Structure 1
Amino acid sequence: MTRYLLFLLALLLAGPLFSQPGRSQLRQLDTYIEVARQQWRVPGMAVAVVKDGQLLLAKGYGERQLGSAQPVDAHTIFNIGSTTKAMTAVAMGMLVDEGKLQWDDAVVEYLPEFQLYDPYATRSMRVRDLFTHNLGLPNADFLWGTARHSPEEILRRMRYLQPAYPLRGGYTYQNIMYLAAGALIGRLSGMPWEDFVQQRIFLPLHMEHSFPTKARSQQYANRSVAHHYRFGTDEILPIADFNADSIAPAGAVWSCITDMGKWVQCMLDSAKYPGGRLLQAHTWAEIFTPQVLIPRRQFYPTAQLTRPKWTSYALGWFQHDYQGRAVDFHTGSLPGTIAQIGLIQQEGLGYYFLGNLDHAEVRHALMYKVFDLFGPEKKGRDWSSELLALYGSAPERAAAALQRLQNSRIPNTSPTLPLQSYTGFYTHPLWGNAHITLIDQQLQLQWEGSAPVPLAHGHFDTFITQDPRAWVGPALIQFHLNREGQIESFTAGDYRFEKEAQK
């Protein structure tokens, strides 16, 4: 009983920061947020609302870890994921204001060692191209999300990534170009990206509970724990924090809702803060200038309900129209933790969200709810229920994927060769090395820099990963024989790893 009373007291102390404007809307929103949190089963989250320069709300909801009775408060830190990207764009804008480079300068002029597969693309790559996801490159998150290469090695390996479409001729979300932007910021400023963001953004904005990397956040005890569904079930599990420090400028910042409210205020007010400004007004405007049109099929599923007439990407910001209002926003996602920022500049209206359940799209629902409640029409649309119906159940989607995998297996088959024949080192010029071993008559796959993953036999020479992390689903590994009947390679997804000759 004492523990429960302490929990209730802590929840009261974690209450909202209210100001006079919009008090009735805030009460309605406060109730709606908690209902939506329970509807989406998010253990803990936090929401900030800014209107006309005032931080109207900065409040935590739920628990830092499921069942812990430790409430999320206004100073609980979460990873903010890809909403970090806007900070990296602002950092680059500061260097533009200082005359150290221009948005349309060639990147190779400052980072001659950074090479792409296509020499023409290397020569033509501009500074702004690092922020717009249209350099012609496919996704390459395997390099940091699975293989766990160092930042320097990730950038070096980009010369082996073949283009997927012509330079500036399409759109594919690309985290690693933000890593390159961070390297450029470090080169021209004389300090690592991490120090630059800490000193030039967090310090002047008094973001006192913000950290540029997971490593630097470890000292802070009031932190959220990531959660994920056990794959294929509706059981929610706490999981270890995913480490994005190797691509820090793309998504490694940790912060709390109070600090992110200050960031929203700054972005709404042309990068001003009490006593100064981060950017010149024209540079701030350039950051929000649309750079790339995004095809509707590549935009967020929310567009099925919001029905925008245009969808675009600026320098670290997604954009679309909503009820005749221009919206700048971005989501942030790492396994088990989520974030979202949303601005309607013409109305001085801003929103920020932090949560600790993987891809719980309640973040979108609450953004549009804020836009409605504090907008000219003040509609009462139930975005949470509508988006839950649109996105569906994450456990059901995972269970369906498992069933499709099971249905694809051909029964009563065996590997072509003894299991020992599949062992050895495999390599790919871009993705790196993989090691197949045999332990207790079970094959194990170990990507470079990662822990071993057991392989179960699927059918013939196809095996299925059995990741010890309960939230990670299975993947197919297919081995290939040469003309002599020996294993020569395996494919994982679209990529082929060649077996190295035994020495």
Structure 2
Amino acid sequence: MAILVSFVRRGALTLAAAFLLCSTVLPLRAQTVPLTQTVPLMLGAFPPEDVVPLAEGGTERALADLPAAIDSVLKRSGLPGAAIAVVQGDKTVFARGFGVRELGKPALIDTDTVFQLASLSKPIAATVVATQVTAGVVRWDDKVARLMPGFALNDAYVSANVTVGDLFSHRSGLPHAAGDTLEDIGFDRAAILERLRLLPLAPFRISYAYSNFGLTTGAEAVARASGQSWEDLSQKALYGPLGMTSTSSRYQDLLKHENRAVLHSLEDGRFTPLYTRDPDPQSPAGGVSSSVTDMAKWMKLVLANGRHDGRELIAPAALLPALRAQAFSSPAPTIGARSSFYGFGFNVSVDADGRPNLSHSGAFGTGAGTFVRFLPSADIAIVVLTNGAPVGAAEAIASHFMDIVQYGAPTRDWYALFHPRLMEYNDPAGDLVGKTAPAAPAAARPLADYVGTYENAYFGPARITQDQGGLVLALGPGTLSMKLTHWDADSFAVAPRSENAPYGSLSSVRFVVKAGKAVELKIDYLDTEGLATWTR
């Protein structure tokens, strides 16, 4: 987002970038400090005359105002609940839960309630990588092909040269949300990363597209260099040393917590607890679960430039590249507008008072909305975790708070600004949304003519079977199946419901018939990259 946030179109909703457009990016080596160079890397180390002074008493006023601000946004949004923490320096100065873990049940949210973080996992993943840069296991500019033999994308030069940093800043050329629909239909991480090579690429390092599985590829390469799984590495290198006892990069660990928030999707304008979301395939990009108590420990680490309990957990030179601009995430549309930037797993921007800030949103369309924001020059950060699909509430609460810290009062109604933009990410998918079936459709062929298995290199087989209710479409390696409803002639309709197909999605499934036999089918809602055609 041009103001603070990088939003993602589903996936980890994919929350991928409200307002993140293709843009020009600077090469990696032009943006990073050589790790052998000794330089002062103090967060907020810029001349004081370059920024507007903070409002006198602004932090105290913001903290006093925060409970009422949270209550207001939760009431306006209808969200079931939230947990919020604020840290200043090495102290947690605010931590509180609001509302319920699940609508219709009495259990309240508290500061130890564990939430799914969705894309808020990305800046955490960047700090995990920074621990390995500190340890000399990898560098941000290490080539992925060296760390992960057999890795390939759809271009030999890119395959040989793309780096960990390229993938953590979304400038590899992979398309937006690359691989997300493969996760929706049940493929695991290994299968998805292998199939990324089939996707068309935008220009390398001079384009930007938010990609959960691009970043996951970079993280997987680092994990392999460390000789352990990403999940184990995250625990050993970050969660354990920080004492983040409720935090994990494994979905099964979340399920062990009785005190956990339930996801609430937005169905016909109401939050409803209908779905679960196992994000293990994209764990580095969207699979962390945590509490605000634990997140406060991580925020203190970032504000302290990698120090924890008086010792250096992450070297400043390893952390700073993640915290400064590496890619244009949203270039200014006019000469009077501001651009937004992405670091390695962090959104990076400069506020109107000249103060740099770091942020990231996270969301699952199936029911989570999260946000973190750092203001390093004020040594303060806030995290907001909610248990409902993205509606702009988390971003509004944090932005309202930071306004008061900096300016002494809110500068605008942040919820009114964020809400309509975030609601776009709950829009249904498919070419038949909002359309009415033909009143007098052309007849279909005998249903048995469509039955069979159709092949696709990217999505895998599509299996059409017939039962008493008609045709059924099955996709992926698991149990995903959807009923087909006749629409017109050789076209049918399917109503998917997944992370990338919100409530109300409706898509065509069109068969091509030759010599009296169906030989091909195309599924519109999966055809973003032009790959959703199956051949019998």
- When normalised by structure 1's length, the TM-score is 0.87
Pick closer, same or farther for the CA change 1:101–1:388 going to 2, 3 Å: closer
Q: In the alignment, is residue 318 of structure 1 matched against residue 347 of structure 2? A: yes
Partner of residue 258, structure 1: 293
Partner of residue 181, structure 1: 218
Match of 1:439 among 443, 454, 467: 467
SS at match of 2:191: helix
Pick closer, same or farther for the CA change 1:391–1:240 going to 2, 3 Å: closer
Deviations along 1:204-253, one digit per CA (max 9) or x if unpaired, are 111111111111222111000000122xx233210232111012111111
CA distance in 1, matches of 2:240, 2:180: 33
CA distance in 2, matches of 1:382, 1:273: 36
The total of aligned residue pairs comes to: 468
CA distance in 2, matches of 1:215, 1:485: 49
Q: In the alignment, is residue 69 of structure 1 matched against residue 110 of structure 2? A: no
Pick closer, same or farther for the CA change 1:286–1:224 going to 2, 3 Å: same
Native 8 Å contact 2:153 2:199 kept in 1: yes
Native 8 Å contact 2:183 2:281 kept in 1: no
Native 8 Å contact 1:143 1:149 kept in 2: no
SS at match of 1:405: coil
Native 8 Å contact 2:169 2:327 kept in 1: yes
Partner of residue 146, structure 1: 184
SS at match of 1:488: strand
Partner of residue 370, structure 2: 339
Native 8 Å contact 2:158 2:204 kept in 1: yes
CA distance in 2, matches of 1:496, 1:125: 27
Q: In the alignment, is residue 425 of structure 1 matched against residue 453 of structure 2? A: yes
Q: In the alignment, is residue 365 of structure 1 matched against residue 399 of structure 2? A: no
Native 8 Å contact 1:144 1:246 kept in 2: no
- What amino acid maps onto 1:420 in structure 2? A
CA distance in 2, matches of 1:280, 1:106: 21
- What amino acid maps onto 1:457 in structure 2? H
CA distance in 2, matches of 1:432, 1:394: 27
Query: Counterparts of 1:156-167 in structure 2 under 5 Å?
Result: 156-163=194-201, 165-167=202-204
CA distance in 1, matches of 2:399, 2:415: 9
Query: Counterparts of 1:215-254 in structure 2 under 5 Å?
Result: 215-230=252-267, 233-254=268-289
Partner of residue 115, structure 1: 152
CA distance in 1, matches of 2:146, 2:497: 45
Query: Counterparts of 1:20-419 in structure 2 under 5 Å?
Result: 22-138=59-175, 139-163=177-201, 165-230=202-267, 233-296=268-331, 309-323=338-352, 324-334=354-364, 335-379=366-410, 381-388=412-419, 405-407=433-435, 409-419=437-447
CA distance in 2, matches of 1:36, 1:284: 34
Cα offset, 1:391, TM superposition: 5.1
Native 8 Å contact 1:50 1:57 kept in 2: yes
Q: Which moved more, 1:450-459 or 1:468-477?
A: 468-477
Pick closer, same or farther for the CA change 1:85–1:460 going to 2, 3 Å: same
Native 8 Å contact 1:144 1:244 kept in 2: no
Native 8 Å contact 2:431 2:508 kept in 1: no
Native 8 Å contact 2:370 2:385 kept in 1: yes
Deviations along 1:368-394, one digit per CA (max 9) or x if unpaired, are 111112114433633224433555698
CA distance in 2, matches of 1:455, 1:67: 34
SS at match of 2:433: helix
Q: Which moved more, 1:45-54 or 1:70-79?
A: 45-54
SS at match of 2:338: coil
Partner of residue 499, structure 1: 535
CA distance in 1, matches of 2:402, 2:270: 32
Deviations along 1:387-440, one digit per CA (max 9) or x if unpaired, are 335556988x66xx8997343643311344112222221221112222121121
Q: In the alignment, is residue 454 of structure 1 matched against residue 483 of structure 2? A: yes
Native 8 Å contact 1:78 1:355 kept in 2: yes
CA distance in 2, matches of 1:78, 1:370: 21
Pick closer, same or farther for the CA change 1:405–1:189 going to 2, 3 Å: closer
- What amino acid maps onto 2:380 in structure 1? L
Pick closer, same or farther for the CA change 1:127–1:380 going to 2, 3 Å: closer
Native 8 Å contact 2:495 2:507 kept in 1: no
Partner of residue 6, structure 2: none
Native 8 Å contact 1:225 1:239 kept in 2: no
CA distance in 2, matches of 1:468, 1:321: 38
Pick closer, same or farther for the CA change 1:290–1:218 going to 2, 3 Å: same
- When normalised by structure 2's length, the TM-score is 0.81
Query: Cα RMSD over matched residues?
Result: 2.6
SS at match of 2:455: strand
Match of 1:465 among 485, 494, 497: 494
Pick closer, same or farther for the CA change 1:142–1:212 going to 2, 3 Å: closer
Native 8 Å contact 1:456 1:466 kept in 2: no
Cα offset, 1:159, TM superposition: 1.8
Identity of aligned residues (%): 25
SS at match of 2:509: strand
Native 8 Å contact 1:419 1:441 kept in 2: no
SS at match of 1:374: helix
CA distance in 2, matches of 1:496, 1:28: 51
Pick closer, same or farther for the CA change 1:318–1:191 going to 2, 3 Å: same
Cα offset, 1:322, TM superposition: 2.1
Structure 1 unaligned residues grouped into runs of 5+:
1-19
SS at match of 1:375: helix
Cα offset, 1:176, TM superposition: 0.8
CA distance in 2, matches of 1:403, 1:482: 21
CA distance in 1, matches of 2:431, 2:209: 29
- What amino acid maps onto 1:330 in structure 2? H
Pick closer, same or farther for the CA change 1:188–1:391 going to 2, 3 Å: closer
Pick closer, same or farther for the CA change 1:252–1:389 going to 2, 3 Å: closer
- What amino acid maps onto 1:236 in structure 2? F
CA distance in 1, matches of 2:281, 2:148: 18
Pick closer, same or farther for the CA change 1:319–1:393 going to 2, 3 Å: closer
CA distance in 2, matches of 1:418, 1:373: 67
Partner of residue 12, structure 1: none
Pick closer, same or farther for the CA change 1:391–1:222 going to 2, 3 Å: closer
Structure with the bigger RCO (C-alpha within 8 Å, sep 6+) is: 2
Cα offset, 1:260, TM superposition: 0.7
